[in-house]
């Protein structure tokens, strides 16, 4: 754990009657890997999350950019853990949670975005398009060079700009472009992790929220938290609006265990 400031904040957080511990998955619960399907939570992190999920007054959640199906497959979260997927476009807040449904214009827009991104990915070896229920994602992490990654994203943005100009004339729903670590994500549902945390706070009635994330997409979550009662933690390097920072996923279990210890 980094510094006495974080330790004090966790102790005060754990003392509140009802708390929510929300975590990104990739780069937080799990180390980043080249192939998303190969990611798994670090054993110590999975154990610590499960221990927290069993305590009275403690709500746990995973807040991820992954599609829900993918998140469930790799994370194997505790049954009581709430799930936010696709940056907030998908959510599982109970066993009977309905799936995400798109209208006709959104469905057409999603197909059009895929048709734009696929040729770009084909021009850059080891790049590909990931299909999510409400988004298409250009993955360039494995592209051969930094130059190739930048060029692929630039070409995709240019093509998407042309498509956006056609949207109003072709009955396509608007789409929203987001950047992450070596990814360009184009969604037809406007959502972000800040909105996801707002929803989780409302659903659980938590007095305070702890959120840990590693990517630029987590910054909307950090911005939604109140430093007087909540705890925001950046995992790894990079500019951030989070209050605290830890070195990497291997340190997450220490944070969770500290909350559990003071909670008990």
Do 92 and 11 fall within a single domain? yes
Do 82 and 201 fall within a single domain? yes
Q: Which domain holds residue 82?
A: 4-100+191-262
pLDDT in tens, 176-199: 998 888 889 999 999 999 999 999
- Reported as half-sphere exposure (CB side, CA atoms, 13 A), residue 3 has a value of 9
Backbone angles phi, psi at 247, to 5 degrees: -70, -40
Q: Would you state the pLDDT for residue 2?
A: 52
Do 76 and 195 fall within a single domain? yes
CA-based angle 133:117:128, to the nearest 5?
Answer: 80
- Reported as half-sphere exposure (CB side, CA atoms, 13 A), residue 189 has a value of 24
Do 11 and 94 fall within a single domain? yes
Do 22 and 89 fall within a single domain? yes
Do 205 and 254 fall within a single domain? yes
What total number of domains does the chain contain?
2
Do 20 and 96 fall within a single domain? yes
Do 92 and 197 fall within a single domain? yes
pLDDT at 171 over 80: no
Last residue of a domain, one of 141, 165, 187: 187
Do 14 and 117 fall within a single domain? no
pLDDT at 167 over 80: no
Q: What is the mean pLDDT of residues 248-259?
A: 98
pTM > 0.75: yes or no: yes
> What is the pairing mode between strands 135-139 and 82-85?
unpaired
Q: What is the mean pLDDT of residues 21-25?
A: 98
Q: Would you state the pLDDT for residue 12?
A: 96
Do 9 and 87 fall within a single domain? yes
Q: State how far Cα 258 lies from the chain centre.
A: 23
Q: Would you state the pLDDT for residue 244?
A: 97
Q: Would you state the pLDDT for residue 264?
A: 76
pLDDT in tens, 206-215: 999 999 999 9
pLDDT at 44 over 80: yes
Q: Would you state the pLDDT for residue 97?
A: 67
Q: Would you state the pLDDT for residue 98?
A: 73
pLDDT at 174 over 60: yes
Last residue of a domain, one of 187, 216, 246: 187
Do 57 and 84 fall within a single domain? yes
Do 88 and 207 fall within a single domain? yes
pLDDT at 200 over 90: yes
Report the C-alpha dihedral over residues 53, 242, 45, 90, rounded to 10 degrees: 60
- The mean of the pLDDT values for the chain is 92
Q: Would you state the pLDDT for residue 154?
A: 95
Per-residue burial over 107-142, b = 16 or more CB atoms within 10 Å of its CB, e = otherwise: ebbbebbeebbeebbeebeebbbbebbbbbbbbbbe
Q: How far apart are CA 258 and CA 264, in angstroms?
A: 10
pLDDT in tens, 56-115: 999 999 999 999 999 999 999 999 999 999 999 999 987 666 778 899 999 999 999 999
How many helices, marked H, and strands, marked E, lie in the chain?
8, 11
**Domain harbouring 183, CATH code:** 3.30.70.1020
Q: What is the mean pLDDT of residues 35-43?
A: 94
**Domain harbouring 249, CATH code:** 3.40.50.1000
**Distance (Å) of CA 208 to CA 24, 76, 117, 213, 242:** 17, 25, 40, 17, 15
Q: What percent of the chain is predicted at pLDDT more than 70? A: 96
Q: Would you state the pLDDT for residue 239?
A: 95
pLDDT at 245 over 60: yes
Last residue of a domain, one of 187, 218, 242: 187
Q: How far apart are CA 98 and CA 94, in angstroms?
A: 9
pLDDT at 169 over 70: no
Q: Would you state the pLDDT for residue 32?
A: 92
**Distance (Å) of CA 233 to CA 116, 187, 236:** 36, 26, 9
Q: Would you state the pLDDT for residue 107?
A: 94
Number of C-beta neighbours around residue 156 at 10 A: 25
């Amino acid at each position: 754990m980094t510094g006495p400031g974080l330790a004090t904040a966790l102790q005060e957080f754990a003392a509140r009657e009802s708390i929510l511990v929300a975590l990104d998955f990739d780069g937080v619960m799990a180390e980043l890997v080249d192939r998303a399907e190969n990611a798994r939570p670090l054993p110590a992190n999975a154990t610590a999350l499960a221990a927290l999920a069993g305590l009275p007054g403690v709500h746990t959640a995973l807040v991820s950019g992954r599609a829900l199906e993918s998140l469930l497959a790799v994370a194997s979260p505790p049954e009581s853990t709430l799930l936010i997927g696709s940056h907030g476009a998908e959510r599982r807040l109970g066993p009977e949670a309905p799936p995400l449904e798109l209208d006709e214009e959104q469905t057409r827009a999603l197909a059009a975005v895929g048709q734009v991104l696929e040729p770009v990915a084909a021009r850059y070896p080891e790049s590909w398009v990931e299909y999510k229920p409400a988004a298409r994602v250009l993955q360039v992490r494995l592209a051969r060079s930094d130059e190739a990654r930048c060029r692929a994203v630039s070409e995709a943005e240019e093509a998407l700009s042309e498509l956006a100009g056609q949207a109003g004339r072709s009955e396509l729903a608007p789409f929203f472009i987001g950047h992450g670590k070596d990814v360009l994500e184009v969604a037809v549902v406007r959502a972000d992790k800040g909105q996801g945390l707002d929803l989780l706070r409302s659903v659980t009635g938590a007095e305070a929220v702890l959120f840990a994330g590693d990517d630029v997409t987590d910054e909307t979550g950090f911005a939604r938290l109140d430093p007087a009662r909540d705890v925001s933690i950046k995992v790894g390097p990079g500019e951030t609006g989070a209050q605290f920072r830890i070195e990497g996923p291997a340190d997450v279990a220490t944070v969770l265990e500290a909350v559990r210890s003071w909670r008990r």
